[in-house]
Amino acid sequence: MLSIQLLALCVLACVGTSTRAEDAAERKFVRKGMGEGEVLFRIGKPDHEAFRRVVRGEPEEKTWTYFPHARDRQTLTVLTFHSGVVTQIDRKVAR
């Protein structure tokens, strides 16, 4: 029984690793107008999140930053959200 659980854990670890590797390629398909949920589904959680404007009763603005990835070592991706929708996409070459 323990060997079956160990095997299942190994398979899940391999699947998680391959999914993360594909996320770097998916970053170029993020477009303005996409919601937070769709972005999370396509490329995963951001490496850094910062709130630009949080005022009670008004829509929030925040940025999600994705650091360079092993498959795309030079591109830093910064997404700006307004009310949960992508309004700006910045891709910067980091050296």
**Domains observed in the chain:** 2-93 (3.30.1450.10)
Position 23 scores a pLDDT of 67
Q: Is the predicted pLDDT of residue 8 greater than 70, yes or no?
A: no
Cα-based angle 22, 83, 85 (whole degrees, multiple of 5)? 30
80 by Cβ neighbours in 10 Å (0-12 / 13-18 / 19+) ranks as middle
Distance CA 86, CA 33 (A): 5
pTM (2 d.p.) = 0.71
Count the Cβ atoms, other than its own, within 10 Å of residue 4: 8
Q: Is the predicted pLDDT of residue 32 greater than 70, yes or no?
A: yes
Position 24 scores a pLDDT of 74
Give the pLDDT band of residue 72 (cuts 50, 70, 90).
confident
